[in-house]
Structure 1
Amino acid sequence: MIIKKIFIDANVASHPETERISRQLDLPVEQVDDPVSIYQWINSADDPVSRGKQVLYLTRNKGGFLKSCPGTREYTCCDYQILHIASFCTMDCAYCILQSYFHPPLLQFFVNREELDTELSGLFEKKEISRVGTGEYTDSLIWERWTDLTDYLVTRFALQDKAVLELKTKTVNIERLKALNHRRKTILAWSLNTPVVMQSEERRTASLDARLTAAARCQKWGYPLAFHFDPMIIYNGCETDYRRVVNQLFQRISAENIVWISLGTFRFMPALKPVIAQRFPDSKIAYGEFVTGLDNKMRYFKPLRIALYRQMVGWIRDAAPDVTIYFCMEDNEVWEKSIGWVPVRQGGLGRLLDKSAIKICDLIP
């Protein structure tokens, strides 16, 4: 843990969750009436991203917890719902979009659980399948050491049969999951990459072996699993390395317990490139063969993406012919040339993922 200080929004200073987290961390505390002073202090650093990871701001989520995935119409979206429980991350990855997404970057946790609970009640009352995840703006399991958020969420989702919760992580913070009655309504998901990428572009994350070991333990505890090869980085020899990771995955995990596997190559807004250059001077990931995509993000030249995707799909299919594979934010041409079909012809990607969740997580359609 690198957190050195807690800032508390004065409006939630007496909230039970604020008091409990403060006791758990036992760090210097400063109460603020307005976060502007925190923003200014973070932005004054030579490396605002690093400073933003060293403090925790406890506040209220004023904009609602449930949000639709911020996809773009130019690329196929999975119709995911984001559960916005916190922002930013204590780990540090060169490719992380959050470095340039938040202004300024600040690790913050939302304590107003009573409003979160109300929103979840509304979600569960709907007569439709929902796929919900907490890993869009933060890592889902970095909060385990000082909150009971996961205990609450897993237990809450276990009481209904229409929605599934996906907890995506690069950590191995799984110990408390063992004792929970999850009823297969929570998916434990890991971001995977090659050891080369993990060692050169990720700081303070668990190793590949540690992640797969954690996944195997969660499998033993009855949890459905998911894996995300995203962002895949293209470099000399990457094909051999990614194939080895796929082999390691299926040596440890049974295909029948995998809800889905996503594939996505490195893409970034141009503003991220100077941040990577400053914070990760040895990184070469932003200097590949990129073109500007329809969403104004820099993306690998399409034939390069398709070539790697086709190989990955083949390797996964060899090990698990029936597992659900999807691409994160790619167009119809990439789908057609990489996997041989286009989601719209199958009722849409969201519907396909719903079917997989129904099958593996025992949801009731």
Structure 2
Amino acid sequence: MKIDTLFIDKTIPLDMELNYLISQINAEPQWVDDSKTVYDFINKADDPVLKAKSTLYVTKNKGAVVKECPGTSYYTCCDYTILHTGTFCTMDCSYCILQAYFHPPVLQYFAGLETLDHALEKTFSQNKIFRIGTGEYTDSLIWEKVSLVPKFLVEKFARQNNCLLELKTKTVNIDSLLPLDHNGKTVLAWSLNTPDIISSEEKGTASLKARFEAARQAESKGYRLAFHFDPLVIYPGCEIEYKKVIQQIFEYVSSQSIVWISIGTFRFMPKLKQLIETRFKQSTICYGEFILGLDNKMRYFKPLRIKLYKEIISCIKEYAPDLLVYFCMEDEEVWEKCMGFFPAKEGELGHMLDKSAVSHCDLNYNLL
């Protein structure tokens, strides 16, 4: 994490958490009354998105700390629960929806371990399984080198029996997590893509080999793993390249350590296209055969999605027939043609994932 400018909300107490963060960032803190100073600083840059990636704003979370994934009613959702610890990212992927989601994008760190603790205790006290992740609005582990939060979360989740923590990343920032007693309650997850896409579209991320080596390290310490092929990008020869990535998964780690693999093709809000064209002039990622989906996002023409999905799923099943593979935000036709079934009932996909979480992560079987 390369931070050039550090803004801190004046209302944040200078406690152990904040002192640690300041000590890890090589930037003089600037204490501000409100977010306007931060927004103005970012917006005056020629490339506000790029500026935001090196500008950190430490503030309070003024909304819900734990909330349901937004999903959409038109495509099947996995009933994920979001732990809201921050926003935006220091890496610079051309396809990243966060560029267009926030106005302007601000790299925010929500201080307050007590706030997190209180929200999680309420969740832990409920009589159901929760799959909880911090990677919806940020990369879960960009904070590992500067914050106490990842370590706090792993240790917090280790002491309960109904919630799984998934930390999803494109980094290899796991050093502080490896020695921890995670008690089987944390899944370390990596977003994967082909080397071509990583080098051309995922600026500042770890290489594919480095991600796999980190996954192997995590497995050696007893962590369960997950992998996410999202977004799959369609380009000439992509099927062969994605199959090579799948082959490498099972060369590096055991299928028994993998809780699930998700797959989803590149989709984007129409306004993201202009941002990609402006910020990533060499990128051709938004020039495929796209149509407007029911969720008002541009999606690959459905037969193209289905063709690639079938290849991916078949390849995974060759190595691990019983491994849970699921779609992120796809419809009934895609499920039926690619998987041979559709989780039609409300919450059915979520229940499938809960069962996998329980069987891999020492959660309470009686809650299913």
Query: TM-score scaled to structure 1, two decimals?
Result: 0.98
Cα distance in 1 for partners of 2:16, 2:173 equals: 24
Correspondence for 1:284: 284
Once structures 1 and 2 are overlaid, which stretch shifts more, 9-18 or 176-185? 9-18
Letter in 1 for 2:352: L
**Which whole-Å CA distance do the structure 2 matches of 1:82 and 1:97 have between them?**
17
CA deviation string 1:66-97 (max 9, x = no partner):
11101000000000001110111111100100
Please name the residue that 1:201 is paired with: 201
Q: What amino acid does structure 2 have at the position aligned with 1:66?
A: V
The residue aligned with 2:136 is 136
Give the match for residue 107 of structure 1. 107
For residue 156 of structure 1, report the CA deviation from its aligned partner.
Answer: 0.3
Residue matched to 2:221: 221
The offset of 1:346, in angstroms, is 9.8
Query: What SS does the aligned partner of 2:173 have?
Result: coil
Q: Residue 160 of structure 1 corresponds to which residue in structure 2?
A: 160
Equivalent AA in structure 2 for residue 352 of structure 1: M
Aligned twin of 2:362 = 362
CA contact (8 A) 1:77 1:349 kept: yes
Structure 1 residues 346, 87: CA separation in 2 closer, same or farther (over 3 Å shift)?
Answer: closer
5 Å matches for 1:1-365? 1-344=1-344, 348-365=348-365
Point out where structure 1 has 5 or more consecutive residues left out of the alignment: none
Cα deviation, 1:126-164, whole Å, max 9, x if unaligned, reads 110000001111111111111111110000000011000
Task: Write the letter of the residue equivalent to 2:281.
Answer: P
Give the secondary-structure state (helix, strand or coil) at the position aligned to 1:132.
Answer: strand
Question: Does structure 1 retain, via aligned residues, the 8 Å contact 2:113–2:149?
Answer: no
RMSD of aligned residue pairs (Cα, Å): 1.1
Question: What is the SS of the residue equivalent to 1:286?
Answer: coil
**How many angstroms does 1:14 deviate by?**
3.1
Q: Residue 347 of structure 1: CA displacement?
A: 6.4
Q: Counterparts of 2:5 and 2:151 in 1: how far apart (Å)?
A: 25
CA distance in 1, matches of 2:38, 2:61: 17
Q: Which of structure 1's runs of 4+ aligned residues deviate more than 6 A?
A: none
Change (3 A) 1:36 1:346: closer
1:41 Cα deviation after fit: 2.1
Amino acid at match of 2:320: A
User: Structure 1 residues 104, 347: closer, same or farther in 2, change over 3 A?
Assistant: closer
Distance 1:307 1:122 in 2: 44
Counterpart CA distance in 2 for 1:361 and 1:13 is 36
Q: Kindly state the Cα deviation for residue 327 of structure 1 after the two structures are TM-superposed.
A: 0.3
Residue 15 of structure 1: how far off its partner (Å)? 4.3
2:68 aligned partner, one-letter code: S
The letter for the 2-side match of 1:335 is W
| TM-fit CA distance, 1:30 | 1.1
Q: Is the 8 A contact 1:2 1:54 kept in 2?
A: yes
Find the aligned partners of 2:167 and 2:106 in 1 and give their Cα distance.
Answer: 21
Question: Which amino acid is the alignment partner of residue 55 of structure 1?
Answer: T
On the 8 A contact 1:346/1:352 being kept in 2, the answer is no
Q: How many residues matched?
A: 365
Q: Which amino acid aligns with 1:121?
A: E
1:137 and 1:20 map into 2 onto residues whose CA distance is 23
Cα deviation, residue 201, structure 1: 0.3
Please, which runs of 5 or more residues in structure 2 have no aligned partner? none
The answer to whether the 8 Å contact 1:139/1:168 transfers is: yes
What is the SS of the residue equivalent to 2:213? Answer: helix
SS at match of 1:248: helix
Amino acid at match of 2:236: N
Deviation, 1:23, is 2.3
Q: Distance in 2 between matches of 1:348 and 1:126?
A: 20
Q: 1:347 to 1:96 in 2, by over 3 A?
A: closer
C-alpha separation between the residues in 2 aligned to 1:108 and 1:352? 33
CA distance in 2, matches of 1:232, 1:190: 14
Structure 1 contact 169–191 (Cα < 8 Å) conserved: yes
Question: 1:25 & 1:345 partners in 2: Cα distance?
Answer: 48
- Provide the rounded CA distance (Å) in 2 between the counterparts of 1:15 and 1:347: 41
CA distance in 1, matches of 2:10, 2:175: 33
